[in-house]
Amino acid sequence: MSESGEYRVDYTEVNGENGSIKAPSKYVATIYTPGYKEADSRESGKEMEENDSNDADFYAEKRYPTHVAKVYQDDSENGLVISNPIYVLNQSQQTDPSDLEDAHISTNGPTVNGVKSKPKRTRRRSSSSDRVGHTTSKKRKEHSSKTRLVRKKALYTHSPAQWVLLIASIISFAVMVIGTIFAYGWRPSFDFLTSGTYDVFETYPLDISPPEWVLITWLVCYGWLFIWLLYALVSLCRKVEMGYAYNSPPFTSPITYYTFSLGCLLIFGGVILWDMHANYIQYSIIFFGCSTILFFVATALAFHRLYICMPFLLEQKRSGDVWATRILQHNALAFITWLTIIILLLNIGLVLVEFGSVSQEITCTVLLSIYLVLFFAWFAVDVFLLDAYMRYCITPHIASIAVFVGIVIKHWDLTKLTSLYAFVLLLLIAVSFFVKIAIILYHSNDKETYTVNEIRAEESPANANEYEVSPGGEKSASIQPDSKYIYDNV
C-alpha cells in the first residue's frame, strides 16, 4: 500500500466487465488507505505526519451520506484497487457538502469488485488550488476547524426513543419494586396486597418451596437492577469523544428497555394475582411466564448488542463502559430472568398440587427436572457456544444456589426423593459455578479479541481477506481508522 488519498468521487454502479464509476454529485466518497496520508502537493510525493488531520476524518466527521472504500496501489497494473463500499453514514445527520471542491479519481486500470474497468476519468491538475480535491495547508486547517464545529452539532444529538424507553423502564421498575414490597408485608397502614408472598406458601405447602429468607434474593436483584438503571441514566447526559455515551455507539438496544419494562409490569400483575390466591393464582402463571420470556429476550439482546458494539467502545478507550455493561446490565437482567423462572415453576407446582390433585412427589420431581434441563442448557450455551457473549454473567448461578440451599435446609429428609434430588441438583449447580469462575480466571489476562474487521468478516466471509482478518491466532483490539463510524448502522 504505497499510495493513499481522500477524494470527492462521483459513482454509483459497475457495468459488467467494463465497469464505470459514476453517480450523482450529492454522494461523497472517502477513499483512503489506513495509516498513510499524502501531502498537499501530489507531485512532491511527500507524506503528512500520521497525527495530522486528514480529509478522511474531515469527510467522515461532516456526517455526509458517504460511501467509504479502501484504495490500494496495484503495482502490476499501475492502477488503484477499489474495494466494496464499507458503510453508509447516518443520513439523518448530514451537512451541505457544497463547500467542498469537486475532484475525480483516476480509474486507469483499477479493479472494482474484482472487475477490470476502462479508464473513464483522470485527475485534474490545473492549478495548486484544484489538485484532485486537495486544498492548501491553510485551507486544510480551515477545514479542520469547520469540522470541529460541525461535529459538535452533528454528533452530540440525543435519541428521543432511547430517552423515552429508559424512563419507561425506570417507572416500570419502580412499580415492580413497590408491588414486591407490599407483597412482602412491608406496607403502610392501608390495605393493599394483604396476603404476603410467603403466606401463599404457608397456605399451599410444597416440598420444594424455599424458606422466607430466600425471598431476600429478590431485593438483592432489585438493588442490582437499580444500579444498572442509574448507570444508564447517567449515560444519557455523559459526553464522550463521539457523542453522548449511550448512543456512541448505542450499546444498549432500545428493545432491551422495551421488553424489560413490559416484564416488570407483568411481574407486578402476577404479584397482584398471587395475592388473590383463592381465586386467581392459576392465572398468575400466564403473567410470570410472559415476563420470563420478555426478560430472556432482553438479556439475549443485551449480550448481542455489547458484542457488536464492543470494538467501537474499545477504540474510544471506553473499557469502563464495557465492564459496567457486563457487570451491571448483563448480570442484573440474567438475575431477574432466573428468579422469575423459579417463581414460575413454584407457581405451576402450587396449581398442580392444589387444583390439579397431582401428588407432591411427582410434581416436585417434574419441576426439578425441568429446572435441571433449563439451567444446564443455559450453562452449555454459555460455556461452549456463546462464551464471547456471556462469559462474565454469573448471577444465574448465584440465584440458583441461594434458592436450592434454602430448599435443602428447609426440606431435608433422607427418606424423600425430592429432598435428595434437590440436594444433587444443588451440588451440580455448585460445580458448574466453580467451572464458570475457573473459565473467567483463565481468560482474565486475555486481550479483547473482537475487532470491527473480524465482525465484518463474520458477516461477509467472502470479504475476509479484504479486511485483513486472518483465521485463528490472537486478534488485536486495535481498530482500523475507517471503522469508527460504522456503528451508525449497528
Average pLDDT over residues 244-252: 86
What is the C-alpha end-to-end distance of the chain, expressed in Å?
Answer: 29
The answer on pLDDT for 208 being more than 70 is yes
**Looking at per-residue confidence, does 82 or 381 come out higher?**
381
pLDDT band at 190 (very low <50, low <70, confident <90, very high): low
Share of the chain above pLDDT 70, in %: 56
Q: Can you say how many angstroms the Cα of residue 135 is from the centroid of all Cα atoms in its chain?
A: 40
Average confidence score pLDDT of the chain:
68
CA dihedral over 457, 252, 285, 419, signed as positive or negative: positive
Q: Which residue has the higher pLDDT, 330 or 20?
A: 330
Asked whether the predicted pLDDT for residue 240 surpasses 70, the reply is yes
Q: How confident is the model at residue 188 (pLDDT cuts 50, 70, 90)?
A: low
Q: What are φ and ψ of residue 131, in 5° steps?
A: -100, 100
Mean pLDDT to the nearest integer, 82-102 = 34
The confidence score (pLDDT) of residue 349 equals: 92
Low-confidence winner among 152-166, 328-342, 394-408, 410-424 (lowest mean pLDDT): 152-166
**Measuring CA to CA, which residue among 378, 382, 335, 341 is closest to residue 227?**
335
Asked whether residue 275 carries a pLDDT value surpassing 50, the answer given is yes
Confidence of residue 271 (pLDDT cuts 50, 70, 90): confident
| 441 burial via Cβ count (<10 Å: 0-12, 13-18, 19+) | exposed
Q: For residue 198, what pLDDT is reported? A: 66
More confident residue, 122 or 11: 122
Q: Which of 153-167, 310-324, 372-386 has the highest mean pLDDT?
A: 372-386
Amino acid identity at 101? E
**Residue-level pLDDT at 278:** 60
Q: How many CB atoms lie within 10 A of CB 349?
A: 23
CA–CA gap between residue 248 and residue 407 (Å, rounded): 45
Q: Give the C-alpha separation, 43 to 45, whole Å.
A: 6
In this predicted structure, what is the pLDDT of residue 196?
61
pLDDT of residue 421: 94
Residue 60 has pLDDT above 80, yes or no: no
Mean pLDDT of 132-161: 53
* Mean predicted confidence (pLDDT) in 222-243: 91
Name the pLDDT band for 185 (thresholds 50, 70, 90): low
How far apart CA 319 and CA 266 sit, in angstroms, is 34
Q: Grade residue 260 by pLDDT with cuts at 50, 70 and 90.
A: very high
| Mutual angle of helices 360-380 and 417-442, in 10-degree steps | 10
Domain boundaries, the chain: 28-155, 160-446
Q: What is the pLDDT of residue 445?
A: 74
3-state secondary structure the chain: CCCCCCCCCCCCCCCCCCCCCCCCCCCEEEEECCCCCECCCCCCCCECCCCCCCHHHHHHHCCCCEEEEEEEEECCCCEEEECCCCCECCCCCCCCHHHCCCCCCCCCCCEECCEECCCCCCCCECCHHHECCECCHHHHHHHHHHHHHHHHHHHCCCCHHHHHHHHHHHHHHHHHHHHHHHHHCCCCCCCCCCCCHHHHHHHCCCCCCCCHHHHHHHHHHHHHHHHHHHHHHHHHHCEECCEEHHHCCCCCCHHHHHHHHHHHHHHHHHHHHHHCHHHHHHHHHHHHHHHHHHHHHHHHHHHHHHHHHHHHHHHCCCHHHHHHHHHHHHHHHHHHHHHHHHHHHHHHHHHHHHCCCCCHHHHHHHHHHHHHHHHHHHHHHHHHHCHHHHCCCCHHHHHHHHHHHHHHHHHCCCCCHHHHHHHHHHHHHHHHHHHHHHHHHHCCCCCCCCCHHHHHHHHCHHHCCCCCCCCCCCCCCCCCHHHCCHHHHC
pLDDT for the residue numbered 357: 81
Q: How far apart are CA 336 and CA 330, in angstroms?
A: 10
Instruction: Flag whether pLDDT at 52 surpasses 90.
Output: no
Higher per-residue pLDDT: 446 or 108? 446
pTM confidence score:
0.64
